[in-house]
Structure 1
Amino acid sequence: MSPIKIDVNDLTYKINPDLSTIDWTYVCELFDKVDWRTRVEADIEAAFRRSSWTLFIYKEDQLIAFGRTIDDGRYYAILADIIVDPDFQGNGLGKYLVNTLNEKLGDNYHFVNLTAAPGKGDFYKSLGWKKQSTCYIWPQGPKQKRLHTEPDPEEPTA
Structure 2
Amino acid sequence: MIFWKTFFQNSTVGESYENNFKKLFLLDKTFDKIELKDVYLSNTKNINLYELEQLCDSVGWVKRPLKKVKIALKHSSIIISLIQKNDSSTRLVGFARATSDNGFNATIWDVVIHPDFQGLGLGKVVMHQLIKQLRQAEISTITLFAEPDVISFYRKLGFIKDPDGVKGMFWYPR
- The amino acid that maps onto 1:97 is V
Q: Which residue does 1:136 correspond to in 2?
A: 168
Uncovered stretches (5+) of structure 2, i.e. residues with no partner: 1-30
> In percent, how many aligned pairs have the same letter?
27
- What is the deviation of 1:5? 4.9
Q: Which residue does 1:125 correspond to in 2?
A: 155
Contact map agreement 1:79 1:102 (CA 8 A) in 2 = no
Which string of whole-angstrom CA distances, capped at 9 and with x for unpartnered residues, describes residues 75-127 of structure 1? 21011111101121011111011110010001623421011123000111111
SS at match of 2:61: coil
Change (3 A) 1:73 1:5: farther
Superposed CA RMSD = 2.2
Which string of whole-angstrom CA distances, capped at 9 and with x for unpartnered residues, describes residues 19-62 of structure 1? 1xx32112112222222231121211211111111111111211
Uncovered stretches (5+) of structure 1, i.e. residues with no partner: 142-158
Q: Which residue does 1:85 correspond to in 2?
A: 114
- The amino acid that maps onto 1:26 is E
Q: Which residue does 2:37 correspond to in 1?
A: 9
Change (3 A) 1:109 1:23: closer
Aligned partner (choices 102, 107, 113) of residue 73 of structure 1: 102
Aligned partner (choices 63, 80, 95) of residue 124 of structure 2: 95
TM-score between the two structures when normalised by the length of structure 2: 0.70
Aligned pair count?
136
Which string of whole-angstrom CA distances, capped at 9 and with x for unpartnered residues, describes residues 127-150 of structure 1? 121112313232659xxxxxxxxx
Contact map agreement 1:31 1:39 (CA 8 A) in 2 = no
SS at match of 1:120: helix
Q: Which residue does 1:152 correspond to in 2?
A: none
1:124, 1:18 → 2: CA distance?
24
- The amino acid that maps onto 1:138 is F
Change (3 A) 1:44 1:5: farther
Are 1:113 and 2:143 matched, yes or no?
yes
- The amino acid that maps onto 1:13 is L
1:97, 1:40 → 2: CA distance?
24
SS at match of 1:56: strand
SS at match of 1:38: coil
2:113, 2:98 → 1: CA distance?
16
Change (3 A) 1:118 1:30: farther
SS at match of 1:44: helix
TM-score between the two structures when normalised by the length of structure 1: 0.76
